[in-house]
């Protein structure tokens, strides 16, 4: 079973080392990890004129060629997960394959959004949290926007949320490994 390893890990200074470690863990559970920066599964495809678009097409081809997706949903430069990772999660869910995820921050989405907004967060006349422009906050106690938690639930996946010290949040793979274990068990 090929597993697409979605996440902002591609932005790490030591992304290659992270790719190797995630693949090593996959192998322990009988899975084959596919990192976004791996060579295209379809090398004969026409080259895209722009580097960024070539990367897009490669990632899309990888997702289509994989049987499942495990996403690093640790909040990235704001209250939510990395946008590219979220796009890929929705993409794989639409293909009807298993999606799982982990976050190395155990605060719920509403709490993180209020921290992000600071003094701009307030309660409206009905007592609901809103931002400085009056746009409401999701306050369901979820890990992220309900489309993320919902997609994983709809796919019968697993969403692991753990408290990890800030300095280790881009390197700790405990939640990642829990997802692999769940996937391997389900896979028989």
Phi-psi sector, 26: left (phi>0), alpha (psi -120 to 50), beta: alpha
Q: Residue 128 in 3-state DSSP?
A: coil
Does residue 80 bind a copy of itself (CB under 8 A)?
yes
Which residue from 22, 87, 81, 21 is spatially nearest to 60, judged by alpha carbons?
Answer: 87
Asked if 142 is part of the footprint of a copy of itself (rule: CB under 8 A), the reply reads yes
Site for a copy of itself contains 91 (CB under 8 A): yes
Of 63, 84, 66, the C-alpha closest to 10 is 84
Q: What single-letter DSSP state applies at residue 48? A: P
Q: How far is the CB of 52 from a copy of itself (least distance, A)?
A: 4
| Residue 100 found at the interface with a copy of itself (CB under 8 A) | no
Min dist CB 186 to a copy of itself, Å, is 20
Q: With binding defined as CB under 8 A, does residue 174 bind a copy of itself?
A: no
Q: Which strand ranges, in their side-by-side order, compose the sheet holding 159-161?
A: 32-34, 2-6, 68-72, 99-103, 159-161
Which token pair is 175? 């939640």
Identify the H or E element spanning 99.
strand 99-103
Residues 28-67 within binding reach of a copy of itself (CB under 8 A): 50-53, 55-57, 59-60
Residue span binding a copy of itself (CB under 8 A) among the ranges 18-26, 37-45, 145-153, 174-182: 145-153
157 binds a copy of itself (CB under 8 A): no
Residue 29: CB minimum distance to a copy of itself, A: 26
Q: How far apart are CA 1 and CA 66, in angstroms?
A: 8
Is 17 a binding residue for a copy of itself by CB under 8 A? The answer is no
Q: Residue 135, interface with a copy of itself (CB under 8 A)?
A: yes
Binding site for a copy of itself (CB under 8 A): 8, 11-13, 50-53, 55-57, 59-60, 77-84, 86-95, 113, 116-117, 124, 130-131, 133-138, 140, 142, 144-151, 153-154, 170
């Amino acid at each position: 079973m090929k597993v697409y390893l979605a996440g902002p890990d591609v932005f790490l200074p030591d992304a290659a080392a992270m790719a190797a470690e995630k693949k090593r863990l996959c192998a322990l559970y009988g899975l084959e990890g596919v990192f976004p920066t791996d060579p295209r599964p379809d090398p004969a495809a026409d080259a895209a004129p722009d580097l960024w678009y070539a990367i897009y097409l490669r990632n899309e081809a990888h997702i289509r060629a994989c049987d499942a997706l495990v996403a690093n949903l640790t909040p990235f430069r704001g209250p939510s997960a990395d946008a590219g990772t979220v796009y890929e999660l929705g993409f794989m869910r639409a293909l009807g394959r298993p999606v799982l995820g982990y976050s190395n921050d155990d605060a719920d989405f509403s709490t993180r959004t209020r921290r992000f907004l600071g003094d701009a967060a307030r309660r409206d006349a009905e007592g609901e949290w809103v931002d400085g422009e009056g746009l409401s906050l999701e306050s369901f106690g979820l890990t992220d926007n309900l489309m993320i938690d919902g997609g994983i639930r709809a796919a019968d996946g697993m969403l692991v949320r753990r408290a990890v010290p800030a300095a280790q949040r881009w390197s700790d793979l405990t939640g990642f490994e829990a997802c692999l274990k769940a996937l391997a068990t389900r896979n028989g």
